[in-house]
Amino acid sequence: MKLKQKIYDHYLQVIQDKVAMLQKVLDDLKESGANETKSTAGDKHETALAMLQIEQANKRAQLQEVLAQKAALEKIDPMLSALMIVNGSLIKTNRGYLFMSTALGKASIDNMAVIALSPQSPLGQKMMGLKTGDTALINGMEYHIESIE
């Protein structure tokens, strides 16, 4: 399996794990809310119920964000490669590997550090459209592009 495919699969699994975890938290909160409605403790009961509703809203917002990341990642075909940096490119730089996809952080794949970054991030914006041999400069750090997959 190619490195790019392994990286893609890894980050897809990370997102699927986040979705499952948030879904479980929402289910647990729903169950807690159902149990809370059975209580009749007055103001204390209403405060607890309001806190549960706020927490549910926060988790739903997080879930929507993760689902948007999943949708963005699923638009990428890891088998395609381009001559210049586009969404879905695996970029080898003098500072390590970058996977242009969605902001999912750093991972270690085949003992190599890979950072999944968004094309909308400051570094992502500077890199989009560059070719092998080009250099991107951000915050005083130089990223020399050694290869694009």
In this structure, is residue 46 part of a structural domain?
yes
Same structural domain, 11 and 39: yes
Give the pLDDT score at 45: 67
Cβ neighbours for 104, distance < 8 A, ≥ 6 positions apart:
11, 14, 15, 69, 73, 116
Q: For the segment 101-145, what is each residue's pLDDT rounded down to a tens digit?
A: 999 999 999 999 999 999 999 999 999 999 999 999 999 999 999
Over 70: is that where the pLDDT of 37 sits? no
Q: For the segment 42-97, what is each residue's pLDDT rounded down to a tens digit?
A: 666 678 788 888 999 999 999 999 999 999 999 999 999 889 999 999 999 999 99
| Cross-strand bridge partners of residue 93 | 96, 145
Same structural domain, 10 and 57: yes
In this structure, is residue 81 part of a structural domain?
no
In this structure, is residue 82 part of a structural domain?
no
In this structure, is residue 83 part of a structural domain?
no
Q: Are 66 and 77 in contact (CB under 8 A)?
A: no
Instruction: Extract the tokens encoding 67.
Output: 């689902």
Range of the domain at 50: 3-74
Three-state SS for 116? strand
